[in-house]
Structure 1
């Protein structure tokens, strides 16, 4: 993250404006162009729940080293609306503000560089439609950056819309570039970037990583009702469904979505559903159905601040308690919370393997911060991926087959209905080994204990937390899920300043690894860092491991942590 404690190139660009002004287009074009030229990009966006209007922004960080979080310091602020400058100009300490003449208003700050985006767009195309491309060119002009890769990217992006659209976009970018270079900063270069073009890196967000991971795991059925911030998983799988022989069904509601997925899994295919907290409320009865029928299913839950509609486009880690205890009764489940987009890819594959091995629901717990966050990686290594369906072979299925046979491990042999003539019976009532309803007390005890015995084997498979930073630190941050990037960089910055601190970070949330307690017990001052108001993971550590953290650092304003915000909080706690 920080090589030798220093990131040589670290440029932060924020584009602010109203919904409908092309903020995502600018952010995407800039991000993908930089990645093609060999830089690492991390990006994320803040957007309101509306189609037009409101104040939104897209934040991009460009570096020559891998970065997994945003930096609060802004080098270039692109203002497409009047609200951007008063809201964000204080974040621009030593950089510049690029803004259309119409949005300058009464601001007279020396950092403001007025560029007539709209007028330039009209001059080169006859329309103001290309003003956001003018802004992209202006950013590259301010960076003294060669336009070759940008032109190629624009050509590829707009090729389907015809040569005229491609030509106008390129002219708009060139005009914005020339205006800044020739009219504003002739002979002056404020940034030193050295592109090293590559085609080996990918730019991918958390949702796309989960979707691609599901396809790599062999998912053949996905049912969901669209809900921010989880919808991207469904659309990613749908975009490749034909290539992977998969079916994607947009259900009428979340109740239908989870029951469709359970039905598909019962019929023998790998199945999943996606939702957010509000949708998962409707899925809880289906979750219990998966539990008692021992039908494997993967559920992706993208968290956002609740309760009810809450803040539908912002981030929070507020649903951990909910997923741990959802549905009536007691049955095994597994909860995974990926750290990064790359981790999301591999954890999704694990989720399917765990679900089918233990015949349980597995929940992948993400949030808006990870779902929409753009990460740069070398292409994922898939050479070691394994898919194990844990299904009986035909020769092992006979007339005496019992779907819920009691075993020492709690794992019963799983056959597909109709396989080799076997009768496969499932029931949401308590049932006997053959799957038929049996409400006797002795049977209830045997079947309940059989299901719960799976937890022992499952716990053995849970991964230990990642440890980042120096050994034997005076202070240890404890985090989980999407907070890894900002926490790890905060530790790097402080270690570089000779502060004794490290990070213990969990991605396998439930059940916790047998050996996790041995790591925690050897720590000194511990601070559990969470994007919620009640310290839900700290509560889980206490309940499951008997471990009490020293302090909690909680954020619940809908925004993610940054390295700078973490360091400020630590100083306020007087632990560093």
Structure 2
């Protein structure tokens, strides 16, 4: 059994704090939790909502229909058409200057209650938080703990006032009560895509992160910045995205693992430096967190519109890897894998996310095991014995298991470490020689891309592999694929790609191709208008999907609409 709550209001009314509070509360009680945000590009005003689904069933994606709406603005009253049977809307009629006479609407005078208690209106979200917790018959002590954890770094006076607001919410006489089923589980932890990428980067030994703030990538910038001192990381806010990526390339060349992050508009500015990384073979990891474009587009919305851009960005031909994690756990592991392959093959690696993934919260068991790889591939002061005649770009020696010359750290050796953005010879000096150019491309492009493919994992399968309906998607649509697989109405197989470039070699894709060939319906699902992932997979593997489902209004898929689309195709 699952329940869905939507908290509505203007920016500045504490919607996010309340939503995260509920996510913490229900996960601490052992329930499965999935929450996401819908917010406008403004600091104050507008209409935002935070939606939490929790319960004893597995939850991976947004739901369309609601059990409870808490609204601090008039727009939220319009969601009554999404209420399930016995659903309710809680609002303050005096504050909104609007009375609703539908029996599903419950008037709670938050501001009047606060005024009588000598508290400011700013605490109305805390009163409502406690009131709803009481509706779900949750002991007050758990709410106290969540509030204390949220405001632990605030002065004691602030914490005391918040606790007082909790008491007001619990004292209000609500005739509506919901007795939740037992969770049958221990306390869970919450992870977002932001935290996943941050943990993956820190665990991979990232020592330099530079960026210019750009939604929705800024959260990772902030997360790593918050932990920079503890893990000895240099975090730099650059004046623009061009500087950010060049700083990261410089830091990488100087000997540390480096990363930068941005969204589509900022990534456009990084293209020339991306090619610099490819030419000089300097490893770098780039977070490309998508939002709808072109230009400024929908700054706070979600879309998967930059897959082909990430694959083809930059001028000239050079290899890169593009990973598109599907949930926070994959964010951790694929960020780690991106760092490892970038260092091993001396290439740029791109982590492709979107607003929906980075801002959503997912619950996991507390004993979640995370094993990360952090091998140093660099030549340092004690490693030069076998490289007396060091050449940064030495031609391939196929007698070695990895014939690439390791990237030496300048200053750690008496030998010169040299490279150039022009075409260069083995040492790194500029050349106009055509034969050297040919050998460099064979080294820099063909050998690398074919060897990288060997490390690319095949897609993951969910559901009944013998089903005649097959859904295929990538990135943040993992959640919706898993939700559809778990439905009890139709049999569906779902196939999810998270390592999208280069795609797995055909030998590792036979099972995927076999399932597709036996299906009656093969449906590609993605959040863009042009079917970028569909085109990529069809061109690589030489088949055609029978149908597709696409969404490009800036919002993520929800379970009910995808199920309806499948029925429409049927």
Q: Which residue of 1 aligns with 2:460?
A: 466
Structure 1 residues 245 and 81: CA distance shift in structure 2, 3 A: same
| Match 2:18 to one of 26, 35, 40 | 26
Q: Which residue of 2 aligns with 1:536?
A: 532
Q: Which residue of 1 aligns with 2:144?
A: 151
3-state secondary structure, aligned to 1:417: coil
2:552 paired with 1:573: no
| Match 1:437 to one of 411, 418, 430 | 430
| Match 1:130 to one of 103, 107, 123 | 123
What do residues 418-473 of structure 1 show as CA deviations (whole Å, max 9, x unaligned)? 22212111100000111111111101100011111111110000001000000221
3-state secondary structure, aligned to 1:512: coil
2:342 paired with 1:355: yes
| Match 1:414 to one of 407, 417, 420 | 407
| Match 2:500 to one of 493, 509, 512 | 509
Q: Which residue of 1 aligns with 2:239?
A: 252
When structure 1 is superposed on structure 2, of 99-108 and 71-80 the one drifting more is 99-108
2:332 paired with 1:338: no
CA deviation after TM superposition for structure 1 residue 164, in Å: 2.8
Q: Which residue of 2 aligns with 1:11?
A: 3
Q: Which residue of 1 aligns with 2:377?
A: 390
2:188 paired with 1:211: no
TM-score by length of 1: 0.94
CA RMSD of aligned residues (A): 1.6
Q: Please give the alpha-carbon distance, in whole angstroms, between the structure 2 residues aligned to 1:191 and 1:245.
A: 48
CA deviation after TM superposition for structure 1 residue 177, in Å: 2.2
Gap runs ≥5 in structure 2? none
| Match 1:446 to one of 439, 447, 466 | 439
Structure 1 residues 31 and 388: CA distance shift in structure 2, 3 A: same
| Match 1:404 to one of 389, 393, 403 | 393
CA deviation after TM superposition for structure 1 residue 61, in Å: 0.8
2:549 paired with 1:553: yes
The answer (yes or no) to whether the contact 1:487–1:503 under 8 Å persists in 2 is yes
Q: Which residue of 2 aligns with 1:43?
A: 35
CA deviation after TM superposition for structure 1 residue 332, in Å: 0.5
- 1:299-378 matched pairs, under 5 angstroms: 299-378=286-365
2:70 paired with 1:82: no
What do residues 357-379 of structure 1 show as CA deviations (whole Å, max 9, x unaligned)? 01000000000000101111124
2:161 paired with 1:168: yes
Q: Please give the alpha-carbon distance, in whole angstroms, between the structure 1 residues aligned to 2:190 and 2:289.
A: 20
CA deviation after TM superposition for structure 1 residue 212, in Å: 1.4
The answer (yes or no) to whether the contact 1:16–1:58 under 8 Å persists in 2 is yes
The answer (yes or no) to whether the contact 1:397–1:419 under 8 Å persists in 2 is no
Q: Which residue of 2 aligns with 1:423?
A: 416
Gap runs ≥5 in structure 1? 1-7
Q: Which residue of 2 aligns with 1:482?
A: 476
Q: Which residue of 2 aligns with 1:115?
A: 108
CA deviation after TM superposition for structure 1 residue 197, in Å: 8.1
Q: Please give the alpha-carbon distance, in whole angstroms, between the structure 2 residues aligned to 1:135 and 1:113.
A: 12
What do residues 457-502 of structure 1 show as CA deviations (whole Å, max 9, x unaligned)? 1000000100000022101000000001112111210xx22x2321
The answer (yes or no) to whether the contact 2:13–2:122 under 8 Å persists in 1 is no
Q: Please give the alpha-carbon distance, in whole angstroms, between the structure 2 residues aligned to 1:212 and 1:383.
A: 10
What do residues 21-70 of structure 1 show as CA deviations (whole Å, max 9, x unaligned)? 11011111111111112122111110000011101000011122442212
| Match 1:521 to one of 492, 513, 522 | 513
Q: Which residue of 1 aligns with 2:178?
A: 190
Structure 1 residues 159 and 388: CA distance shift in structure 2, 3 A: closer
3-state secondary structure, aligned to 1:421: coil
When structure 1 is superposed on structure 2, of 236-245 and 387-396 the one drifting more is 387-396
Q: Please give the alpha-carbon distance, in whole angstroms, between the structure 2 residues aligned to 1:246 and 1:413.
A: 24
Structure 1 residues 61 and 161: CA distance shift in structure 2, 3 A: same
Structure 1 residues 28 and 540: CA distance shift in structure 2, 3 A: same
The answer (yes or no) to whether the contact 2:93–2:99 under 8 Å persists in 1 is no
Q: Please give the alpha-carbon distance, in whole angstroms, between the structure 1 residues aligned to 2:345 and 2:91.
A: 56
Q: Which residue of 1 aligns with 2:281?
A: 294
CA deviation after TM superposition for structure 1 residue 217, in Å: 0.6
Q: Please give the alpha-carbon distance, in whole angstroms, between the structure 1 residues aligned to 2:203 and 2:22.
A: 29
Structure 1 residues 250 and 380: CA distance shift in structure 2, 3 A: farther
CA deviation after TM superposition for structure 1 residue 516, in Å: 4.9
What do residues 339-393 of structure 1 show as CA deviations (whole Å, max 9, x unaligned)? 1011101111111001000100000000000010111112475563221121235
3-state secondary structure, aligned to 1:113: strand
3-state secondary structure, aligned to 1:108: coil
The answer (yes or no) to whether the contact 1:66–1:376 under 8 Å persists in 2 is no
Structure 1 residues 397 and 285: CA distance shift in structure 2, 3 A: farther
CA deviation after TM superposition for structure 1 residue 504, in Å: 0.7
Structure 1 residues 380 and 237: CA distance shift in structure 2, 3 A: farther
Q: Please give the alpha-carbon distance, in whole angstroms, between the structure 2 residues aligned to 1:264 and 1:397.
A: 25
Aligned length: 556
Q: Please give the alpha-carbon distance, in whole angstroms, between the structure 1 residues aligned to 2:269 and 2:74.
A: 41
The answer (yes or no) to whether the contact 1:342–1:380 under 8 Å persists in 2 is no
Q: Which residue of 2 aligns with 1:563?
A: 559
Q: Please give the alpha-carbon distance, in whole angstroms, between the structure 2 residues aligned to 1:236 and 1:51.
A: 20
The answer (yes or no) to whether the contact 1:410–1:450 under 8 Å persists in 2 is no
Structure 1 residues 22 and 236: CA distance shift in structure 2, 3 A: same
The answer (yes or no) to whether the contact 1:399–1:421 under 8 Å persists in 2 is no
Q: Please give the alpha-carbon distance, in whole angstroms, between the structure 1 residues aligned to 2:190 and 2:76.
A: 26
When structure 1 is superposed on structure 2, of 319-328 and 537-546 the one drifting more is 537-546
When structure 1 is superposed on structure 2, of 308-317 and 32-41 the one drifting more is 32-41
